[in-house]
Amino acid sequence: MTYHIIGKLLQGRYKIIQNLGAGVFGQTYIAVDVDYPEHPKCVVKQIKVNSSESGYLEMLRLLFQTETQTLKLLGSHHQIPEFIACFEENERFYLVQEWIEGHALAAELPIDQQWGCLWSEREVVEFLIDVLGILEFVHSQGVIHCDIKPENLIRRNSDALRKLVLIDFGSIQSIDFGIGAELPIYRIPVTSLGYIPPEQFIGQTQPSSDIYALGMIAIQALTGLEPLQLKADPYTNEIVWRSENTPVNDYLAAVLSQMIRYDYQNRFQSAGEVLRVLKQITWEQPPEILEADDHFFIEAAVENDNPTSGKSSPLLTGMKVGLAANSLVMGFGVYSLINAAPAYSETETLSKATQEYQAGDLQEAIALVKSIPSHSNVYPEAQATIEEWQEQWQVAAQQYQIAQTAFHDSRWSDVLDAVAKIPNILYWQSKTDKLVQQAYVNIEAQTQDLLAKAYESADTKDFSTALQYLRQIPKESRAGALVQDKLAEYNRKRQIRAAYFLQKAYKQAFVGDFDQAVKFLRNIPNDTLVYAQAQVKLNEYTQKQRLLAGNQKVASAKIKNSFVSKKSATNIEYLQGVNYLQEVNIR
């Protein structure tokens, strides 16, 4: 059942204070750790559970344990959030990680060639080297991040070197895991579109998939164009990103183009390989301060690779332009640090719209979102949010109506089922609070009544009826454990009683009392272990009962006929005597 988690205390330690967002596999929140006096913030991910079946929960539990071991290992890197804890509570799985104070890289990128400054080549190379160092470590642990994008790269406030931190390892996939399932585009977060390559659509994720995404971010920094604004060559499927308005060194352009090749086999195959190429760059130090861009050249360590010479670099001739495409699912959940980023009116507008939506004013929320200009970096997310809100609102209204109808019909379990399907909207959850509370009260009253009836039936050894009462008790009842125990107990006693009836039937048949034997057999329930055997004996004893009844009828007839014959003979003798006397008297 969906329940209010804001303000909840998990494990008696982590108090949820803010909702960060939802992914395909779960919800993400900010919490404070009350075990420490300063109450430090942390990130809590609640894993979505789609079924309460024991087999599904065991599978999810195993997967959860496996993934958390990986996250513990990854968290040892200083540019990856530290793993804090993982636990299971009320059949829900939670992951706790370090909270990174800072702003997302998205706040630093130029937008649509109009907002923000284009990055210099030096800034782009330094950015690539920084993140490639993280990816080299991640890939060395046998996993792929699968969702490299500006929102998942955080500039930590406390870092004097301004190093980036790679967050949200919810989509990680094992390099050796093999080919996964194909995933529909409608399940992909809007912010991931364009950064993740085409092979992830069919589950063929590679380490070079992360390299592709990183290359697309670098191209956005140089051009001011987001990936979905770039065009693809219709014949080669490669992204055409370099134009007359993109003054960039041929060598760096070739590196970026090879990072985003459409065919993953034609890209750099490892982060270390890209790092080695980029670290061959040496920056010129001109006597005057550079006004626009720094220039660089490649050291002579690579033979014939000096772009200033007349020879063509083998690196340049081997690289072509690549293609951007789209993505895989988010895993345990996406969280955005948009509120921690530098203040922009658009982000404030989206935040205000979210508050209105949660408070119950859908129309005002949509109006605020529509006011966000198309050049804003949050515009794609905002447009997707409108459609999502409308769909969720419709679902919430429908399920609320279903819950109300079920409540009036005293179908308490149906009330809870309907409420559980209502999306995480505070307005609708507050409307269902009283319904849920009363439904639980009525379920407990119903449970006590059914338990009393079951006990009464069991006292008279009518275990079949007792079991029927127990099975009517709603699964949401707090007496669930007791009910399960009694179900097992009464079922066991019913089996014993059925076997007892069968033995009594044998004994009665042995002494020829087939009437009593049949009565015992007919008391054996049809879902007991001896029922089939009892039916065989029932047929047998019924036939013997009929045969015995027939024999008794024949015997009775013979006795009656014998009596009638003797009586007739006596009458004849009497009549003959009367006649004789009459003759004597006449004479």
345-359 vs 362-370: helix crossing angle, rounded to 10: 170
Do 93 and 126 have their domain in common? Answer: no
C-alpha span between 182 and 574 (Å, rounded):
111
Do 108 and 48 have their domain in common? Answer: no
Residues spanned by the domain of 29: 1-99
CATH assignment at residue 155: 1.10.510.10
Q: Is residue 468 part of a domain?
A: no
Helices (H) and strands (E) in the chain, counts: 15, 15
Do 107 and 80 have their domain in common? Answer: no
For the chain, how many residues are written? Answer: 587
pLDDT score at 325: 26
C-alpha span between 224 and 217 (Å, rounded):
10
Residue of 35, 147, 250, 409 with catalytic role: 147
Q: Which amino acid is at 492?
A: R
pLDDT score at 91: 79
Do 117 and 259 have their domain in common? Answer: yes
Do 107 and 93 have their domain in common? Answer: no
Q: What is the DSSP letter of 16?
A: E
pLDDT score at 50: 67
Q: Which of 61, 82, 99 is the last residue of a domain?
A: 99
In sequence order, the 6+-apart residues with CB closer than 8 A to the CB of 350 are: 338, 368, 369, 372, 378, 381, 382, 385
Task: Tell me how crowded residue 411 is: count the other CB atoms within 10 A of its CB.
Answer: 16
Q: Which of 270, 292, 317 is the last residue of a domain?
A: 317
Do 109 and 14 have their domain in common? Answer: no
C-alpha span between 231 and 406 (Å, rounded):
53
pTM for this entry: 0.51
C-alpha span between 476 and 474 (Å, rounded):
5
Q: Is residue 25 part of a domain?
A: yes
Mean per-residue pLDDT pooled into runs of 10, the chain (587 residues):
74 92 75 92 84 70 76 91 90 90 90 72 94 95 89 88 85 48 51 83 86 96 90 88 81 92 93 90 52 47 38 40 26 30 62 88 90 77 86 92 91 89 88 87 89 90 90 85 86 87 89 89 88 90 83 66 57 54 47
45 among annotated binding-site residues: yes
Rg (CA), the chain: 41
102 - beta bridge partners? 156
How far CA 515 is from CA of 286, 303, 508, 541, 551, in Å, comes to 116, 107, 8, 8, 15
Q: Which residues of 437-454 are buried (b: 16+ CB within 10 A; e: fewer)?
A: eebbeebbebbeebbebb
Do 149 and 93 have their domain in common? Answer: no
Structure tokens at 255: 């590196």
How far CA 449 is from CA of 469, 470, 483, 557, in Å, comes to 9, 10, 13, 58
Do 61 and 163 have their domain in common? Answer: no
Q: Is residue 559 part of a domain?
A: no
Do 184 and 278 have their domain in common? Answer: yes
Q: Is residue 209 part of a domain?
A: yes
- Cα angle: 431, vertex 433, 435; to 5 degrees: 90
C-alpha span between 478 and 106 (Å, rounded):
48
pLDDT score at 282: 56
Structural domain total, the chain: 2
Q: Is residue 228 part of a domain?
A: yes
Q: Is residue 92 part of a domain?
A: yes
pLDDT score at 558: 65
Do 82 and 187 have their domain in common? Answer: no
Q: Which of 44, 78, 99 is the last residue of a domain?
A: 99
Active site residue 147: yes
What 3-state DSSP class applies to 15? strand
CA dihedral 48, 51, 57, 63 (to 10 degrees): -40
Do 90 and 118 have their domain in common? Answer: no
**Could you tell me which of 545, 537, 544 has the C-alpha nearest to residue 520?**
537
Do 34 and 130 have their domain in common? Answer: no
Q: Is residue 187 part of a domain?
A: yes
Indicate the pairing of strand 143-144 with strand 14-23: unpaired
CATH assignment at residue 95: 3.30.200.20
**Could you tell me which of 420, 446, 450 has the C-alpha nearest to residue 432?**
420
Q: What is the DSSP string of 463-481?
A: HHHHHHHHHTS-TT-TTHH
Q: Is residue 566 part of a domain?
A: no
